[in-house]
Structure 1
Amino acid sequence: MTLKTRLTAVGGGLVLALTLAACGDAEDTPPPQPGETMTTESTTTPAAQAEGAHNDADTQFAQMMIVHHEGAIEMADAAVEMAETDEVRALAERISAAQGPEIEQMTSWLEGWGEETAPMDHGGMDHGGMDMDGMSQEEAMEHLGAQSGSDFDRTFLELMIAHHRGAVEMAQSELDAGENAEALELAEKIIADQEAEIAEMEGLLEGQ
């Protein structure tokens, strides 16, 4: 065998060895098993980023609706104790039961957004939806507490109708200017629920 032939044979053997080694490395890596996925660098999609997006209108809606709901629950709890009729008492129980979880929901949003859970300057801002026929929450509770019997039921219904209309006004403002999808969905629910309860309370007033 000549020197040239020997070198050609050695070179060919090296190429074959390298090829076999490369195949062996590929075979040593097991394919993904059922239920497993290959690990890749995680990225945040625009949709996921937008899910938690919010603006000032969303923040104010959640902060002020928490205060508003707390006022409704205070009035409803008083009606549970003092209402004369079963219909008014049952309505008050439903209002309290529905608005408590919504307070928890909005509180969790504000905490997740890094916002205060209460408005920073409640007294200095114009929140038309917070008043009931010109009365503040404290004034309304004082007026309600001075009533009894059928007068209590009538006063409660009148005040809660005004209170619900304020909530509808605040929720509509959120629909007009809000950004967060969950907050907009809740605003729509509040409008639907409270308009239905307004109609129910107006019917109870007519029956008195």
Structure 2
Amino acid sequence: MRNTRTSMARRTALMAATVTAGLVLAACGNDSDTGSSGHDGHASASSSSAASSSAAAHNAQDVSFAQGMIPHHQQALEMAKLAAGRASSAKVKDLAARIEKAQDPEIRTMNGWLKSWGGTVPSAMPGMDHSAHSGMAGMMDSKDMAMLEKASGTGFDTMFLTMMVDHHKGAVEMAGTEKAKGAYGPATSMADDIVTGQTAEITEMNKLLGKG
């Protein structure tokens, strides 16, 4: 669970990373990277599967996965949308666009599952309460998000990448639990795609930070 000490440590690390990784990002800021994360094409298949088998067996883990991953993805989208006007690196902007392309359809798919199961659907953006979900793996709290919103240029690039690596690691952890304990085929399939795609993006982001 996240606590005040963890949040303070993250913000301290983010500020340090901004200084140490700025030159790496500046060097590649004008390059483009059109590679795919490998998980942006699965959402339509998941939607189709959900529509044709909405009455299929599911368990409490499947419900928990959808209810947790929806706000997790929503925060990733909010972070990614900031990149268009604040990032200086073309590679960071491209990555953010791919994150939006992959995760927005997944949110819609998971909303559909919860509605078909009669489960509670998490509130949609805008205006999500970040601190309300700060105990979830990889989630930023309101102070973290405020820092990102105030940043720009190479400082934003480094902060965005550092935060998104942590965010993706949390999603991979959550998806791993769904793969191990879930019963609903489309949900475990989406979880597998999240693990594959976001693990690849973590590697990509670490390289942009000069850690690869």
What is the TM-score of this pair, normalised by structure 2? 0.67
- 2:180 is the alignment partner of 1:176: yes
> Separation in 2 of the partners of 1:173 and 1:161?
19
> Separation in 2 of the partners of 1:49 and 1:94?
28
The farther-off stretch of 157-166 and 147-156 is: 147-156
The alpha carbon displacement at 1:197 in A equals 0.4
> Paired residue for 1:11?
none
> Separation in 1 of the partners of 2:146 and 2:132?
23
> Separation in 2 of the partners of 1:60 and 1:199?
27
The alpha carbon displacement at 1:49 in A equals 8.2
Indicate the structure (1 or 2) with the bigger Cα radius of gyration.
1
The alpha carbon displacement at 1:128 in A equals 3.7
Instruction: For structure 2, list consecutive stretches of 5 or more residues without a partner in the other structure.
Output: 1-51, 124-129
> Separation in 2 of the partners of 1:175 and 1:85?
35
CA separation of 1:139 and 1:177: change in aligned 2, threshold 3 A: same
> Separation in 2 of the partners of 1:50 and 1:111?
10
Q: 1:81 aligns with which of 82, 85, 88?
A: 85
The alpha carbon displacement at 1:143 in A equals 1.1
Higher relative contact order structure (alpha carbons within 8 Å, sequence separation ≥ 6):
2
> Paired residue for 1:57?
61
Secondary structure of the residue aligned to 2:154 is helix
Structure 1 runs, 4 residues or longer, greater than 3 Å off: 48-51, 122-128
Q: Is the 8 A contact 1:129 1:167 kept in 2?
A: yes
Q: Is the 8 A contact 1:53 1:180 kept in 2?
A: yes
Q: Is the 8 A contact 1:51 1:180 kept in 2?
A: no
Q: Is the 8 A contact 1:175 1:184 kept in 2?
A: yes
Identity of aligned residues (%): 42
Q: Is the 8 A contact 2:172 2:198 kept in 1?
A: yes
Paired residue type of 1:129: A
> Separation in 1 of the partners of 2:136 and 2:53?
33
